[in-house]
């Protein structure tokens, strides 16, 4: 499917994959540490790590040679998943954490609790759904990847 959302889901849409990426962002890099933190079966972890390496999201770097053991490190492609991860975190905090957020983000520069927000790369204004419009891009080939020509109703976007 010629859709960037679908392609992202193809790469990291499986349950364990994004949890592995999450842990990699927070400093986990070794197989046994992923396995212990996630409680994931070793064979499933091996498959997910192999997939993330094959897709260029993680690099596998040997840190021991007898027996061979690896660190798994985020690539630039993997680090670009940060906004996806923080969006999932914010959604989970709002809709699936009745006792409050299990972790919070503190901005190192100011030391305050912070919520990442998408901003326009040109003017710096915050970007929410009503502030943008969709246009076909150079990769648009299928109807599903092209913008809808009619106005999206306020009900569909929750008034946003």
pLDDT tens column, 136-148:
888 888 666 666 6
pLDDT greater at residue 85 or residue 135: 85
- Residue 73's pLDDT is 98
120-145 mean pLDDT? 86
- Could you give all domains of the chain from N- to C-terminal order, each with its CATH number? 4-80 (1.10.10.10)
Kindly indicate the confidence band of residue 94, based on its pLDDT and cuts at 50, 70 and 90: very high
Directed axis angle between helix 31-38 and helix 42-54, to 10°? Answer: 120
| Average pLDDT score, the chain | 90
- Residue 43's pLDDT is 98
- Residue 144's pLDDT is 61
Measure the CA–CA gap between 37 and 90, rounded to whole angstroms.
21
Among the listed residues 11, 84, 150, the one whose alpha carbon sits nearest the alpha carbon of residue 3 = 11
């Amino acid at each position: 499917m010629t859709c960037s959302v679908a392609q992202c889901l193809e790469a990291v849409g499986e349950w364990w994959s994004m949890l592995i990426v999450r842990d990699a962002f927070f400093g986990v890099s070794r197989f046994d540490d992923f396995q212990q933190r996630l409680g994931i079966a070793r064979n499933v972890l091996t498959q997910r790590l192999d997939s993330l390496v094959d897709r260029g999201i993680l690099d596998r770097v040997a840190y021991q040679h007898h027996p061979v053991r690896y660190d798994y490190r985020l690539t630039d492609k993997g680090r670009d998943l940060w906004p996806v991860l923080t969006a999932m975190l914010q959604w989970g905090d709002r809709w699936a954490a009745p006792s409050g957020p299990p972790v919070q983000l503190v901005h190192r520069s100011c030391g305050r609790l912070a919520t990442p927000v998408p901003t326009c790369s040109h003017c710096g204004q915050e970007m929410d759904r009503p502030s943008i419009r969709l246009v076909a891009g150079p990769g648009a080939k299928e109807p599903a990847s092209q913008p809808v020509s009619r106005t999206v109703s306020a009900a569909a976007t929750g008034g946003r």
